[in-house]
Structure 1
């Protein structure tokens, strides 16, 4: 709360109060917040208007859908890549080739392949989370000490039992770190894809508000993106803490 307060106080002083050079071009914080919470906003968008929630719903739906697909596919491929060296030898070179390519570079190809703008936006959002999830999951599996695999085999564990009781629990800390990063990647890639291919959504509205010099509306959408990203990451952290509560007990017992 202190860090957030310092940020908004700096914004208020630099723009609203002293109008410091260059910062004076930014929208005033007081005006933006008044517009955000106004029942009758100047540019027609506030937390009291239907249009605001239409854009919010469009973006949130795309992020959730793309994130779930990315997690489902990325975790499976990541586990196989970390656990099976033949699978890793086949997939890793292709993944390492595709992973550094930014989302903006994929836009023309995705638009050509996808049947609609909506599917193109979801596909671009998916790509950003997909590679992050694979990499962190693979690193999580490969970080497991080989002694656990030998112990499981000596106890007669099947490969399915090793996957369930050794691989997945051992990789979970890395997986959930990757999911937090992947969720953030979903939100910022969503904005880029909505600007280019979207017809609704928070990112689309950011660009439209800038184009029509509605800077206060632009600030409202940017703040909403930040709040959504923060909440979604917090949900993933809580879910991770719940699923890995055994880890805290184990570490506590060791200590």
Structure 2
């Protein structure tokens, strides 16, 4: 005798629950619509501790700044003419509402982008060639060692004579500032490549380009990334030297013009903007190079 089994009709809710239990988690957007859950970045206690330490450090610095300006400290270092933090902040709020202030920032950022891009391409290329060729290193290194110690300010008169416009001369000076750290760090990274790995790849019949691509460049990437970060900082130093002497726009010109007009709060505004822009640019370089160094975490 056959036994009748009563089956319960499957509802949409049961179907969603059963599907969600299999594979990746699902989130119901509306009745019958499902989409994968979006993973949000996890904020750990270590991240909160780091952020808190940074905020505490900056707060202590601002409080010390306020204290020495409030009492007009004059003990070897004179703070009588240094503006207070609130005065600088008020001047900053006034400047960000003007178009000319953003023009200065935009001009400096454009100069950095152009000169730094040239320095990255040329610097990494020269460093790789010098690291793998003794002849190229012996030929190029004397020029680097002679030109590298020359400060950016010393280049300004000659750069103005060499280049047709002040803009191109400032970009040239900024390019030189970023070039040498990138070249030397790339050279150092290539020299640190284990020769055993190079010989192993060559014994397998790999051509010279394959050795460069799969062994030399990955091994040199940590040093290259360090050189790119250092080069960004030096490029800002060189840029400001050029803008102070021969520029008509730029955050360096803004700072020097404030000094010429004896506008103390604007001097500090310009200095802080230079610091923020330099810090942000270096952080951007590190963020761009970080994905290329993921293999380091896997090998630890």
Q: Which residue of 2 aligns with 1:10?
A: 64
Distance 1:100 1:115 in 2: 25
**1:4 CA displacement:** 2.4
Q: Decide which of 241, 244, 248 is 2:293's aligned counterpart.
A: 244
Deviations 1:102-134 (A, max 9, x none): 111111111110000000110000110011111
* 1:25 maps to 2:81: yes
Which has the higher Rg, Structure 1 or Structure 2? Answer: 2
Unpaired runs of 5+ in structure 1? 39-45
What corresponds to 2:119 in structure 1?
A: 70
Matched, 1:51 2:51: no
Matches within 5 A, 1:50-199: 50-199=99-248
Alignment counterpart, residue 231 of structure 1, candidates 258, 275, 280: 280
SS at match of 2:83: coil
Q: In the aligned structure 2, how far is the partner of 1:7 from the partner of 1:64?
A: 31
Structure number with higher helix proportion: 1
Q: Do the aligned residues in 1 keep the contact of 2:81 with 2:264 (CA within 8 Å)?
A: no
Give the 3-state SS of the residue equivalent to 1:244 in structure 2. helix
Give the number of aligned pairs.
Answer: 243
Give the distance between the partners of 1:135 and 1:97, measured in 2 at CA: 14
TM-score, normalisation: structure 1: 0.93
Structure 2 residue runs of 5 or longer lacking an equivalent are 1-53
CA distance in 2, matches of 1:127, 1:87: 20
Q: Distance in 2 between matches of 1:196 and 1:67?
A: 20
Provide the C-alpha distance between the structure 2 equivalents of 1:50 and 1:11, rounded to a whole number of angstroms: 29
More strand by share: 2
Residue 36 (1) aligns with residue 85 (2): no
Q: After TM superposition, give the deviation of residue 144 of structure 1 in Å.
A: 0.8
Structure 1 position 6, deviation (Å): 2.3
Pairwise CA RMSD of aligned residues?
1.0
1:9 offset after TM fit, Å? 1.7
CA apart distance, 1:173 = 0.3
